[in-house]
Structure 1
Amino acid sequence: MENIVNDWGLSFSDLIFLADQPDDIRLETALQLCHLRRTSRFIEDWSGLAGNVISYVASQTERPADCPKSLFDDRRSRRYRKRVAEHLGFSRPKQTDLTEFETWLLSDVVQRGTSLSEMTDLGCHWFLARKLVSPPEQTVERIVRSVRQRVLDGYLSEVSAQLSASAAFELEASLAGPRGRTGFQRLKRDVGAATLDNVLDAADRLAFIQGLGLPDHALLDIDPTWIKALVRRVEGEAASEMRLHSKEKRTGLLAIYLMSRRSQLIDGLVELLIEVVHRIGTKSKRKVVKRIAADIEKVHGKEQLLVDMATAAVMAPKGIVSDVIFPVAGAAKLKAVIDEHNAKGTLDIRIQTVMRGSYANHYRPMLPSLLSVLNFRSNNKVWRPILDALTLIVRLNEEGRRYAPAALAPDGSIPRKWREIVIDGRGRLNVISYELCVLRVRLETHTDRAKRLVSSITEAA
């Protein structure tokens, strides 16, 4: 009720004004008066007016609470609306007012990236603050749409103008051949499951985008809401629809999309890398455990066997092993115990060896592609050993080296249990094993930190 009183209450001067109006339009005039004062607009469709509002205003004017039925464009209605505007001190906007309104939209509203309905409401408040009768809501919305389109067209033209000739050519070629290696449809695809082919494919797409030299700073020239809207628009259009736009618009749209898409590809690529390394470890462990189970027979009753051996030794402390121990625990059984112990003791080494073979023979081709597109950066000292290790891996790959002095490995980059497979008997660093060690231990076991480490590339690049 409080809102109705505030929004639809009539003052003493209002009642005096209404007393001079014909009885049959007094209620209608009162409703238009309250609505204009509140919104700067006149009511065009009476059906949208709540019954309790009509009843409240009717009680103040002492008229029946009947919903008005006059047409908005009726000559008589236009005359009384003019008198209402004069009573409240409102005037019709001139062309200079409309020009000022558009200028205000350009400088203060559209840049925010708010929705069309919000911009329209802000526009009506602009007219209200200046005591101007707002054009119909549809007209205000049309003006807002026009200004929005001018802003977006201008922004896309600016982005397009900042593209190099080669980048513009590549973008046009991507739209012309949407299913090619760098085609529009392929660039929009997700990274897919964690397979070597998908890693190489995602790295290839990322390398293409990075090679375009797109103007990243352009993303800072407009509200992020607009960037998201433009990206959604490109995602929803086919290459044939994109080609219907002007050259400046389509190249600008695609450039904005790819600048945003790059960060998504980086995140997806890191996810693939971590999943691939995890899969190598899981499969290798399963394979080794299966082999161990096939190679040895588990010795049961080892605790009782130890008690029997201890009892025999105490009973004949000076006896010969073959005479005292073997009758209790035969040589074959003791050998089985030794084999089981040795197999368990070398489990980590065997798993690492199988992982190395799987990585070297199948997955290693992904590393150069990954390192060429992922630029790891961080100001956190905790990450320094990993960053130094990755830098060393890049250098050793560029030099084509299989072995390197172990002293080159940064301190803390090789865990103790990996040293036996990473550093050979001659004190050399096995490059392939070192790569696997860094990927497996330093990235895969710190998944969340690795994602944050690479997610900063877009801002830092």
Structure 2
Amino acid sequence: MARTPLDLDELVEHWTLLKDEQALVSGKRGATRLGFAVLLKFYTQYGRFPRNRAEPPGEAVEFVARQVQVPASELESYDWTGRTVEYHRAQIREHLGFRECSVADAEKLTSYLAEHVAHKERRPEQVRVELLARCRAESIEPPTPGRCDRTVGAALRAAEASLTALISARLTVESIERIVALVARADQDDAGPAGGGTEGEDAPPVLAKVKEAPGNVSLETMLTEIDKLLTVRAIGLPPDLFIDVAPKVVAGWRARAAVESPSHLRTHPVPLRVTLLAALLHEREREITDTLVELLISTVHRIGARAEKKVTEQLINAFKKVSGKENILFKLAEASLGTPEGTVRQVVFPAVSGGEATLRELMHEFKTRGPVYRRTVQTTLKASYTNHYRRGLIKLLDVLEFRSSNHAHRPVIEALALVARYASAGNTTYYPLGETVPVHKAMSGDWAEVVHRTDKRGRRRVVRTVYEVVAFQALRDQLKCKEIWVVGADKWRNPMRACPRTSRPDGWRTTGSCASPWIRRCSSTNCASR
């Protein structure tokens, strides 16, 4: 890539010989004078010597040459190898207070990088940047590129060894045994390769199941994902296992464990093997939790959408079966177009058999169809939920923990607890009379008359299955607004938890107000907090 030419300000700032530097250069002549000055200013700028005569920028050489009053072309005569250049380098190091990197310095640099850098940053190029910065801060001349690479590699390995030992020490013996069993040989004769490759024929079913991507929105997919989540939780990972490990480090371990075959994972030392698989399980647990929340939202939406579609089709078919309505419409249009100047009573009423009474009956039928339509949709939705989807949605309440930081939405959380408590109540139509049924906003409106029903003794009670439908609809709406969040999720986590990069609550933006520095930004277009 072409280098950007230096402008005059950069030349003056970085390539001007200071008084003490001029005194250091004054004793030299010709090419030696220019070469020494270029070495000195290059070292001052970059903290190292140039690797060859082509590395110093041409405009910088011209600028320095004018200061030392030596033609820039003389630099070609400067000997870049041998005793003279080594003596010049020693003079420059002594003048600037730098020293060559010794074995002891390299060990200290490796320890520093392993302890302060490589625990959080696993990219070698970034660790190398930190190495060069540390060398400059410690007045150490950077090692050669090959030695830098070896130092960075040693720091990364040391940091990984200490981190994996720390993570494995936090696990119980039982958890380690379960994790190791995930990649244990299916039989004693492992014919697979010792390294590389993707998950193949020797992948145990449990690990393969955990890695699987979710299917389409359906009850079967929901039950499968629930089974995956329970499988991961059965390993027994502590919730704070990676609490002090940088997220990018955990993500890197998860990526390695996801692409390496079980036979390759078995070749790693036990602490590294356990840590890689624990990172995979930890991340997959959050991903599966997110998937289950999205399946819940999509399933509740699908129940309502399919009920509306089914009822609409039924009403359209019923409308088409009623005889005479098309003829009435044709006669009205024909009479209106034939006598456009006439009045309705003179032209329209006589065109219809039965006159004004027939038209009033049609109007009454149209006006009453709205409530009938809504009631039919609600009945169809309840039947679809009870006969098919209820099994999966109820099971979700056993594996997901819903919470809210807003007291206004506590009734929905309490409603879910009530639904879970009476999930196995059999064919009970109503909740018991002494039971406290939380009331939330979703129970009002069109659902008010369906949720409450009068029993045979004239008592107004809450219908259990209808209440469950309304509770799940309210849960869906509040999840989309982030007013309700899920423990152990990533995308659907607590929105008040500070972002590790910006130190601000997730999903919030600044208001510019000292009294209220943050305001919620909701993703739902129907939410008042948007």
Give yes or no for TM over 0.5.
yes
**Aligned-pair distance for 1:286?**
1.0
Q: 1:410 pairs with 428, 438, 454, which one?
A: 438
Q: Residue 78 of structure 1 corresponds to which residue in structure 2? A: 86
Aligned to 1:430, which of 463, 471, 489? 463
Asked whether the equivalents of residues 242 and 250 of structure 2 are also in contact (C-alpha less than 8 Å), the reply is: yes
Which of 182, 189, 192 is matched with 2:206 structurally? 182
Which has more helix, going by share of residues? 1
In the other structure, the counterpart of 2:403 is 377
Residues of 1 paired with 2:422 and 2:205: CA distance?
30
Amino acid at match of 1:430: V
In 2, distance between residues paired with 1:114 and 1:29?
A: 39
User: Residue 444 in 1 paired to residue 457 in 2?
Assistant: no
Stretch of structure 1 that moved more, 106-115 or 205-214:
106-115
Q: Aligned match of 2:30 in 10, 23, 33?
A: 23
1:71-109 per-residue CA deviation (whole Å, 9 max, x = no partner) reads: 866444323322322233322344443343334324433
Q: 1:40–1:125: 8 Å Cα contact kept in structure 2?
A: no
Deviations 1:303-329 (A, max 9, x none): x9xx769x99xxxxxxxxxxxx99535
Relative contact order (C-alpha < 8 Å, sep 6+): which is higher?
A: 1
Counterparts of 2:57 and 2:256, CA distance in 1: 38
In structure 1, distance between residues paired with 2:388 and 2:437: 25
Aligned residue for 1:47, secondary structure, equals coil
Q: Does 1:453 align with 2:453?
A: no
- When normalised by structure 1's length, the TM-score is 0.83
Q: Please point out which of 193, 200, 217 is paired with 1:194.
A: 217
CA-CA distance at 1:439 after TM superposition: 1.3
Q: Secondary structure at the match of 2:213?
A: coil
> In structure 2, how many angstroms separate the alpha carbons of the residues matched to 1:383 and 1:171?
39
Distance 1:163 1:71 in 2: 61
Equivalent residues of 1:41, 1:136 under 8 A apart? no
Contact 2:183–2:204 (CA<8 Å) still a contact in 1?
A: no
State the superposition RMSD in angstroms: 3.5
Per-residue displacement from partner, 1:339-366 (whole Å, max 9, x unpaired)?
Answer: 5444332111110111122222221221
Cα distance, 1:293–1:392 mapped onto 2, change above 3 Å: same
- CA pair 72-211 structure 1, distance change in 2 beyond 3 A: farther
State how 1:142-153 maps to structure 2 within 5 Å.
Answer: 142-153=150-161
Return closer, same or farther for 1:215/1:8 CA change in 2, 3 Å cut-off: farther
Shift of 1:336: 5.5
**Could you report, residue by residue, the CA deviation over 1:359-386 in whole angstroms, capped at 9, with x for unpaired residues?**
2222122123311221001231121111
- The SS at the match of 1:417 is helix
- Which amino acid letter does the alignment assign opposite residue 418 of structure 1? W
Match in the other structure for 1:348 = 374
8 Å CA contact 1:231–1:256 kept in 2: the answer is yes
With 395-404 and 65-74 compared, the bigger mean Cα shift is at: 65-74
Asked if the contact 2:405/2:484 (under 8 Å) is kept, the reply is: no
291-300 vs 348-357, greater mean Cα deviation:
291-300
Following superposition, the deviation at residue 278 of structure 1 comes to 0.8
Q: 1:61 aligns with which of 56, 59, 68?
A: 68
Instruction: Give the Å deviation of 1:68.
Output: 4.9
Deviation of 1:338 (Å): 4.9
Question: Contact conserved, 2:179 with 2:277, CA < 8 A, in 1?
Answer: yes
1:261 aligns with 2:261: no
CA contact (8 A) 2:115 2:159 kept: no
| 1:121 partner amino acid | V
Is 186-195 or 261-270 further displaced after alignment?
186-195
| CA drift at 1:419 | 3.6
Q: Which range moves more in the overlay, 60-69 or 290-299?
A: 60-69
Pair 295,71 (structure 1): closer, same or farther in 2 beyond 3 Å: farther
Deviation at 1:395, TM superposition (A): 0.5
Q: Which runs of 5+ in 2 are unaligned?
A: 1-7, 187-198, 336-343, 495-530
Is the Cα–Cα contact under 8 Å of residues 401 and 431 in structure 1 kept in the other structure? no
CA distance in 2, matches of 1:71, 1:161: 57
How far apart in 2 are the matches of 1:257 and 1:71? 56
Deviates more, 1:150-159 or 1:106-115: 106-115
| SS in structure 1 at match of 2:70 | coil
- Which of the numbers 419, 434, 455 marks the counterpart of 1:393? 419
Provide the C-alpha distance between the structure 1 equivalents of 2:133 and 2:16, rounded to a whole number of angstroms: 20
- Per-residue CA deviations over 1:415-441 (Å, capped at 9, x if unaligned) read 24224433443144433322222112x
Equivalent position of 1:319 in the other structure = none
The match for 1:208 is 231
